[in-house]
Structure 1
């Protein structure tokens, strides 16, 4: 697919080659400032659907060029191909400095970032503080006809401890449009960028002593014509990528010349404009990818040509929503016969909605074929999806929450990467030209190659200035604020990745994923303030827990364990009143937690010590007011801790802990929550009776008791270990219920897919095995209590069928087992539903499932697996 705006092109690789769904650094600055944003990897191709969204938010130049010259009501202004960069709420028209018939807008920002895993590693993470200086210059014509725009900028980064990671990125671009008539134009563009490759990219050589830099030169030429009710766009792009060689750790040089290439694309789109609501289109594109070297350093020919074709439609859903959906086919043919043809379904969708004058959200979905340098793989088929919700909290303060997921299926090799991220960004206008921003981003990659997994937490703060002004109008608010406190208790799952040397003299290594659950109890105090229907504040907490796991291989072998003990910390919170008594909120903060660690290597070396680790904790919850001052809440958090080493004389193992924590609390406010009569006006007449249905997303922990014979010969020792891993889950639910006074009773069925797994890898030549939770279907009963029509608090119990994939390889005996099975389980738990309208509701649901055990017979012995699951889900439902 070729995506060409009416006056300029969103060309391949516009801002980088990193395989990301979002920036590993921080989100971009406000429109008009490039900031330090590194575009999503899908933005590397001109036909990329998500490139349209990302470039539209990062490149504010040429607003006139983003529209065609025909302004009749039946056109899609800017169409689906043009960046839909509508002004933010409270943002005034572009001003800048007028120089003749041009508008000039210089800007600069300084950003301070804390990154806890700068190299995107599974273990041995390194953190650092990064300072980034980002100047920009935007020049635009202000003509009645035609348009010219110029953009330039840089990102200059300084690492506090790892100076070799410093980078100096820069870009410059010139775009223009020449109007032939009121219905025809010609557009062209030329862009040059010097960029660096992010460390999380699968193409980044980790042995490199510094980031790989490259230059990106791109040009575009095209034309658009309106022929009656049909708009036709035809265009082409040319791109040259030149990667620099880089020094290797320990000496020598890594050759990147075999990555240098030229890419050419031509394509067209025809759109039918006769209907103002639905505007169907057809499009097709052809591209050629030519590498400077005939073969790469591993002997593969990577030249290829390909095409794509799709049909779709643009749609306008009233004044506040517009979007697009398409489906088609894509194919890339490689000259190397070992690569052959890569093809697949091409899909794309986007939706831009301004739900209220203050609330908007943007969603996107894209699928593409992406180049790679992994040995034996020609490309990956990438599926990218995400949504960003923004809310103007006041005349000066705006909050945004991005959520995204990327799935990369690498062709011809056995590797699949799933990358999930979520963040929170706040922007505050100090003056019409000066702003501050801050936020947090969490990202996790789970790969079929366990060594490529990583977690990443980023916290940032930014101060910026721009010549163009932002206007803001007063927003009437009521403020209720004060202290609160309470007690809470719940369920904790402690997970640990253990990596260390094994074998004679440490000649091999092992990677284990352990997990088990326990209970936790403690208290909290905080300060909160209301701003319209939003609540913001800070909170301190302390608790004690007993979640632990144990690895026991007896007699005469390793026995080690970890237990979570005392924890204390603080967080910032941001909440929203769905109704006068029901509040949903998010939170992010830091905690200090004590872990009791025991290690016996079976050779007389015993270590038993306490270790206090810092962790980044984030999550969400629901609060329901039981009276004017008493409230009940359900709160879920995830915490990623620093890793630490366990030195047992013969070697060193690394323990990397994380924790999933669900708590129920009861609190008391020292301030009045009444909204001066506004509560009656805002009361929602929600009927909890009848049928309902909805969708839900969440996070699941798979916990497994693994037992089996070990030793040589097998059976001379016995292993008993609690393993575990986590991952995303999502699905649908439906049910029926009735109220009897405040008592609620009903039945519910649900289905979900999940990607929670753990693995054990002993190299070289020993056991490699794993268990993965794939899906579950089930049903049960719910019994609950309705609180003043403001919330339904419920418990649930039922039966489920869970799908599990078990892989077991034992190199010593040539065993290679792949087992897929469905196991029954008993699921119980509870949650809370909060009405958001007369029929719409939001729920937070937490369950624990105990599945039947099963065994894997691998010839010389057998292993038993007894799976449990802790599942947190956030859902949106509709009562019929």
Structure 2
């Protein structure tokens, strides 16, 4: 505990000191004529006077970064029955590589998040990632993209499939996604294909029993095609069809169920960019899931999905999200759960180099085939200050929990954190 307190104290002090570091060269009022790209908030706005310059290597720019965070979690096991608190030191080194070409583009992102607990060292873990995205400019009207992912980590204690082992289950994922977009005029067509493999490691209980997680290993494939028409400037109407399959490595899981399934999603919607004030996508659709096991009930239901960015002023962005999806689970007797998400976030640029962020989300997970429903709520508040091109500070607070009609799985949780980062 003394080690974590020794780490947290200078971080908390440094988070309070940046106002003494370097005065902004311009006030926030000077951004009134700056536009944000679709999918950006004021937090993403480029400020050249605070942007890292990177390291040039031929036709590439390298952006290395390291962040050190101290975190206090009052419920590390996400459980009100087996409750424990602890301090965690989190080290996050990362490297982004961007091409600097006249045509085509390549971005590579790699890094690690290393967690070390003060007392509950069995919760220690590392998350590693390597992502690469390439853009091929085939012609003036046609662009192809290729994206790849490699990752490994540890499953969250808050996962509905957490087996409560002595250590968290190790996870691995590998994915590749290819896409083509053709826009000859007002009409456009977009095709995508994503292939992903997921692996889960076994865990051991306090009694020495090994819990098998191999029955969760699977391959997922999703193909989609979108066709649309620009009705007028800032309003693109579209129709999208997506086909998905999930194939498990094991013919049946430990409960004797076949988990393989296929799904179809048809959506009608619009991409919006109204005077660069309201930007985003809205869609209504129909979702169906067909399961190989006759013991599982198939799913047929409507969907409503939206992600909107509302730039209320040049200094403030609200985001609104509504989403419905079906997620996989190996919870006994359930084929999966339907997840309904409602979330709102606000970003405010108090200074050009100081952004405040707050968010509130509500997620309802309704388990198919069994009488279980979970309500998860999360509130987050954070601030990040850029002292100069190379140094930044931040602090955050999180309050959340789960309320379920299933016995013994409710929890509430609070987390506070402070961090300091260096970048080149």
TM-score (norm. length: structure 2): 0.88
Q: Shift of residue 99 of structure 1?
A: 1.5
Rounded Cα–Cα distance in structure 1 between residues aligned with 2:91 and 2:235: 44
1:151 aligned onto 2:109:
yes
* C-alpha distance after superposition, 1:65-96 (max 9, x if no partner): xxxxxxxxxxxx987xxx54676356336632
Report the 3-state secondary structure (helix = DSSP H, G, I; strand = E; otherwise coil) of the residue aligned with 2:93: strand
**Distance in 2, Cα, partners of 1:279 & 1:249:** 56
Give the alignment partner of residue 44 of structure 2, picking from 76, 85, 88.
Answer: 88
Q: Whole-Å Cα distance in 1 between the matches of residues 257 and 84 of structure 2?
A: 34
Is this contact kept in 1: 2:52–2:423, CA < 8 A?
no
Q: Secondary structure at the match of 2:183?
A: strand
Larger relative contact order (CA 8 Å, sep ≥ 6): 2
CA gap of 1:87–1:457, structure 2 versus 1, over 3 A, is closer
Distance (Å, rounded) in 1 between the aligned partners of 2:42 and 2:177: 24
- C-alpha separation between the residues in 2 aligned to 1:385 and 1:362? 11
The aligned residue for residue 461 of structure 1 is: 418
Quick check: 1:289–1:305 contact (8 Å CA) kept in 2? yes
Partner SS, residue 281 of structure 2: strand
Residue 428 of structure 1 corresponds to which residue in structure 2? 385
- Using the alignment, how far apart are the partners of 1:465 and 1:385 within structure 2? 34
* 1:336 counterpart SS class: coil
Equivalent of 1:103 in 40, 61, 64: 61
Whole-angstrom distance in 2 between the partners of 1:435 and 1:222? 36
Residue among 294, 301, 306 paired with 2:251: 294
Offset at residue 357 of structure 1 (A): 2.3
Asked whether 1:250 is paired with 2:207, we answer yes
Kept after mapping to 2: 8 A contact 1:237/1:264: yes
Instruction: Flag the 1:121–1:417 CA change in 2: closer, same or farther, 3 A.
Output: same
Q: Is the 8 A contact 2:316 2:346 kept in 1?
A: yes
Match of 1:171 among 100, 116, 129: 129
How much has 1:209 moved relative to structure 2? 0.7
1:126 equivalent in alignment to 2:91: no
Query: Over residues 316-368 of structure 1, what are the superposed CA-to-partner deviations in whole Å (9 max), with x where a residue is unaligned?
Result: 23222212211001111111101031232121111112222221121111100
Task: Show the counterpart of 2:11.
Answer: none
Q: 1:365 aligns with which of 322, 342, 348?
A: 322
Change (3 A) 1:248 1:450: closer
Is residue 196–residue 211 contact of structure 1 (8 Å, CA) maintained in 2? yes
1:327 aligns with 2:284: yes
Which of 134, 140, 163 is the aligned partner of 1:205? Answer: 163
- 1:261 is aligned to 2:218: yes
| Deviations 1:397-449 (CA, angstroms, capped at 9, x unpaired) | 22111111100000000000001111210112222211111011000211111
Deviation at 1:455, TM superposition (A): 0.3
Greater strand share, structure number: 1
For structure 2, which runs of at least 5 residues remain unmatched after alignment?
1-35
Deviation per CA, 1:169-200: give whole Å up to 9, x if none.
10001211111101112211211000211001
Partner SS, residue 393 of structure 1: strand
* Deviation string, structure 1 residues 568-592 (Cα, Å, up to 9, x no partner): xxxxxxxxxxxxxxxxxxxxxxxxx
CA distance in 1, matches of 2:43, 2:411: 36
Secondary structure of 2:330 counterpart: coil
Q: CA separation in 1, counterparts of 2:240 and 2:105?
A: 26
Contact 1:107–1:464 (Cα < 8 Å) also in 2 = yes
SS at match of 1:164: helix
Kept after mapping to 2: 8 A contact 1:104/1:139: yes
| Aligned equivalent of 1:193 | 151
Kept in 2, the 8 Å contact 1:89–1:358? The answer is: no
Q: Does 1:356 align with 2:307?
A: no
Tell me the SS of whatever aligns to 1:258: helix
SS at match of 2:149: strand
Displacement of 1:286 in angstroms is 0.5
Deviation at 1:450, TM superposition (A): 3.6
Q: Would you say how many aligned residue pairs link Structure 1 and Structure 2?
A: 387
1:109 Cα deviation from its structure 2 partner: 0.3
Q: Please, what is the CA RMSD of the aligned residues? A: 1.7
Aligned to 2:230: 273
User: In the TM superposition, what whole-angstrom CA distance separates every residue of 1:692-723 from its partner, at most 9, and x where no partner exists?
Assistant: xxxxxxxxxxxxxxxxxxxxxxxxxxxxxxxx
Q: Is the contact made by 1:311 and 1:326 (CA closer than 8 Å) also made in structure 2? A: yes
Q: Does the 8 A contact of 1:265 with 1:288 survive in 2?
A: yes
Maintained 8 Å contact 1:305/1:332:
yes
Query: Quick one: distance in 2 between partners of 1:246 and 1:94?
Result: 42
- Deviation track 1:751-780 (CA, whole Å, cap 9, x = no partner) reads xxxxxxxxxxxxxxxxxxxxxxxxxxxxxx
CA contact (8 A) 1:215 1:242 kept: yes
TM-score norm. by structure 1 comes to 0.43
Q: Give SS of 1:355's match.
A: strand
Q: Secondary structure at the match of 2:397?
A: strand
For 2:140 and 2:52, the matched residues in 1 are separated by 25
Q: Report the CA distance between 1:123 and its aligned residue.
A: 3.1
Please list, as runs of the form range in 1=range in 2, the aligned pairs for 1:727-746 lying within 5 A after superposition.
none
Kindly provide the CA deviation profile for residues 376-397 of structure 1, in whole angstroms up to 9, marking residues without a partner as x. Answer: 0001000112111111222432
Deviation track 1:432-489 (CA, whole Å, cap 9, x = no partner) reads 211111011000211111411110000000111111xxxxxxxxxxxxxxxxxxxxxx
1:726-765 equivalent positions in 2, closer than 5 A:
none
Cα distance 1:363–1:320, how it changes in 2: closer, same or farther (>3 A)?
same
Q: Quick one: distance in 1 between partners of 2:221 and 2:378?
A: 32
Q: What is the rounded CA distance, in whole Å, between the counterparts of 2:369 and 2:109 in structure 1?
A: 40
> Which residue matches 1:313?
270
Asked if the contact 2:42/2:317 (under 8 Å) is kept, the reply is no
Find runs of 4+ consecutive structure 1 residues off by over 6 angstroms: none
